[in-house]
Structure 1
Amino acid sequence: MKIAFYGSSLLSSYWNGAATYYRGLLRDLAARGYEITFYEPDAFDRQQHRDIDPPEWARSVVYPANEDGLRSVLAQAGAADIVVKANGVGVYDTELLEGIVEHSRSDALRIFWDVDAAATLDEMRADESHVVRRMLPSIDMVLTYGGGPPVVSAYEGFGAALCAPIYNALDPTMHYPVDPDPLFAADLAFLGNRLPDREARVEQFFLEPAAALPERRFLIGGNGWESRPMPDNVRNLGHVYTHQHNAFNCTPLAVLNVARDSMAHVGFSPATRVFEAAGAAACLITDAWEGIEQFLEPDEEVLVARDGRDVADHIASLTPERAAAIGHAALRRALAEHTYAHRGAEVDTLWREHRPKRRSAA
């Protein structure tokens, strides 16, 4: 089956945290026989910060971020058996969702893939004319980056025919233990772009512990932090390319995951960083959110912090031996239950069950 996938970027993780999610899932689906074309706009300098070359398992189409480029790629939707619009493309999001409904064949599955479901749902509640609300009757299924039962219930309440979380996972071909790199030496490292709905939590869970432990070394990576004042013991790396993530995770004593506000509120939303860290056998400290036990066992496979004081206490008491034990336990759990092969199987089952229904309806 042919898939037309309209997303932010497959080739670049620059201001695009979903890149590794797309790569892991689509690589697995390609191995299951799907023929994938990924359409991404030339926007936000992503093409100047590519992490990978166009892969052999998907056709990559980079289009100009203008109306002519938009029309050119939407015209190709009619060739696909499954048409996917991911949220958060950043340009023409409304027109893309409207366009896949207009240009796809009547027998094609139409998918809205929401990689920020909690925030999207907040927007939908506030705006009756929101494009997702308007297009839901013409969408066959909503797949989400996470969110668990609260997100499923909310989407169904808006009239979604089907909503299913497809969680982040580990791609063991991309994320695995490597030798430490002195560039990433630290007691605690955090990787994430500076975003309005994350900054206050980074302040609480990362910068406050750094200020409380001036003798310890802290490391922050991601876009946008260069203008943010930091304690003297925090080193700012800027953008960290995906090929550097394994060393970034393996080298520090521990790495930190901080959920965005909406994801922390809803729960059941492990970020890509969670499974990247597990794949590298890193000791992960995460802020507390509902459902963490579904993915990693607290105190055995992950350390959970309710606030910055908990983070500081974890770092103060953590030994290299315990950090290594937690990291290797997380790796075993991820390989057993949380790889993109597991997630790809879920998507494949959904699509093969519902594609005949769509064809019959058409």
Structure 2
Amino acid sequence: MGAPLDIVVIGLSLRSAWGNGHATTYRALLDALEARGDRVRFLERDAPWYAQNQDAASELPGQLAIYSDLEELQDRHAAEVASADLVIVGSYVPQGIEVGRWAQRTARGIVAFYDIDTPVTLSALAQSRCAYLDADVITGYDVYLSFSGGPALETLQRHGAQMAVPLYCSADPNRYFPEERNADFDLGYMGTYSDDRQPVLERLLLRPAREWSEGAFVVAGPQYPESIQWPANVERIEHLAPSEHRGFYNRQRFTLNVTRADMVAMGFSPSVRLFEAAACGTPIVSDAWTGLDDLFAPEKEILIARSGAQVAHWLQRIPEPMRRRIGHAARARFLAEHTPAHRAQSLHSYFERAAARRSRAATAHVTHNRSTHHEHAYVPSNDRP
């Protein structure tokens, strides 16, 4: 284990998980970093929708500071950014391009970008409309921490990333674990509404619900249009605070994972919900995408659905012992490879690689300057006047 680090994170939100998965991702990572002895400060831009939907303060690791605008960030937090061993700027931070440039100018330590939205970012960059990142800022980061692995890392390097590496999300095993509860629902889903996920939710949950009226289903998450026709056997929950997530998973016989279209196209882009459910030992039914089988073994640790008929068959036909085995196997895989402690160890390894890379570059620069100086200073005797 490396020496403890002083870390400053400038992220979208730590205090509120309303309508975003950033908060729970940051909380799990910060908890694990603090368990290693790291000192973490989280800087969050004030926003009314997060201020009005704050989670319990007891759920927040690290030291949280709220700033009102870019000027206040620069005035109040320059010293701690300058002195930190590692500064991390997250995706979707308001005025992210300006924040990134300031962090790169100010920090003396390693500066990293943590992209919790890599497929969305790459799509926006391709259209020159990314609000929090541009080509110049990308090249200024020492490390590019990506929510997507696989081919996305090569694409990021083509965009100028110096060191593109995967840092997947996770879930805190102290908060997410199996509980003996009544299975109130045969299948549930948790996620904020999005246009691209809705057709998959329709195919893999709403259609089976309509065709199996005896089944019990649930969908939790905000921003669903009033125009959606929910079957009578689908319960709707507008929002669940993170403190309620564990209970939600443990009340389901199966839980559904639905992935954003950009993430499906990119592959190797697991969502935080995948790891939360696995940590709870709840059997997961997921849509299909490249790289999923690198995380969990199909049919042994996860069920990959390509049709509503498949889902309906599993819900009604899988024997109870087999259902439990799938959930237990997913939890075992999570504990062996995907905990926040694993992610914190990866982050430390990336920090050490970036620091060594910077040290080598500095040494090469000094050596080159010395060589150039001597080259110009030396004048052969036969050329002297």
Query: What is the TM-score when the length of structure 1 is the normalising length?
Result: 0.91
Structure 2: any 5+ residue segments left out of the alignment? 363-385
- Is 1:148 aligned to residue 149 of structure 2? yes
CA distance in 2, matches of 1:88, 1:277: 25
How big is the shift at 1:268?
A: 1.2
Question: 1:1-362 to 2 correspondence within 5 Å?
Answer: 1-53=5-57, 57-64=61-68, 66-72=69-75, 75-76=78-79, 77-89=81-93, 91-105=94-108, 108-127=109-128, 131-145=133-147, 147-180=148-181, 185-225=184-224, 227=226, 228-358=228-358, 361=361
Tell me if the contact between 1:39 and 1:73 (Cα under 8 Å) persists in the aligned partners: no
How big is the shift at 1:313?
A: 2.4
CA distance in 1, matches of 2:290, 2:331: 21
One-letter amino acid of the counterpart of residue 164, structure 1: V
Distance 1:13 1:296, change over 3 A: same
2:215 is paired with a residue of what secondary structure?
coil
CA distance in 2, matches of 1:44, 1:234: 31
Deviations 1:26-57 (A, max 9, x none): 22122223221101122152233222316685
Deviations 1:230-258 (A, max 9, x none): 12221101101111111111111110000
Distance 1:181 1:38, change over 3 A: farther
Distance 1:35 1:230, change over 3 A: same
How big is the shift at 1:220?
A: 0.4
Indicate the larger mover: 260-269 or 222-231: 222-231
CA distance in 1, matches of 2:156, 2:78: 29
How big is the shift at 1:162?
A: 0.8
1:243 is paired with a residue of what secondary structure?
helix
One-letter amino acid of the counterpart of residue 335, structure 2: L
Distance 1:181 1:96, change over 3 A: farther
Distance 1:110 1:251, change over 3 A: same
CA distance in 2, matches of 1:359, 1:54: 39
Indicate the larger mover: 154-163 or 165-174: 165-174
One-letter amino acid of the counterpart of residue 101, structure 2: E
Indicate the larger mover: 123-132 or 215-224: 123-132
How big is the shift at 1:73?
A: 5.2
2:252 is paired with a residue of what secondary structure?
coil
Structure 1: any 5+ residue segments left out of the alignment? none
Distance 1:261 1:128, change over 3 A: closer
How big is the shift at 1:290?
A: 1.1
CA distance in 2, matches of 1:100, 1:123: 22
The structure with the larger Rg is 2
2:315 is paired with a residue of what secondary structure?
helix
CA distance in 2, matches of 1:165, 1:283: 25
How big is the shift at 1:321?
A: 2.9
Indicate the larger mover: 71-80 or 24-33: 71-80
1:155 is paired with a residue of what secondary structure?
helix
CA distance in 1, matches of 2:311, 2:51: 36
Identity %: 31
Distance 1:73 1:275, change over 3 A: farther
One-letter amino acid of the counterpart of residue 350, structure 1: Y
2:165 is paired with a residue of what secondary structure?
strand
How big is the shift at 1:312?
A: 2.3
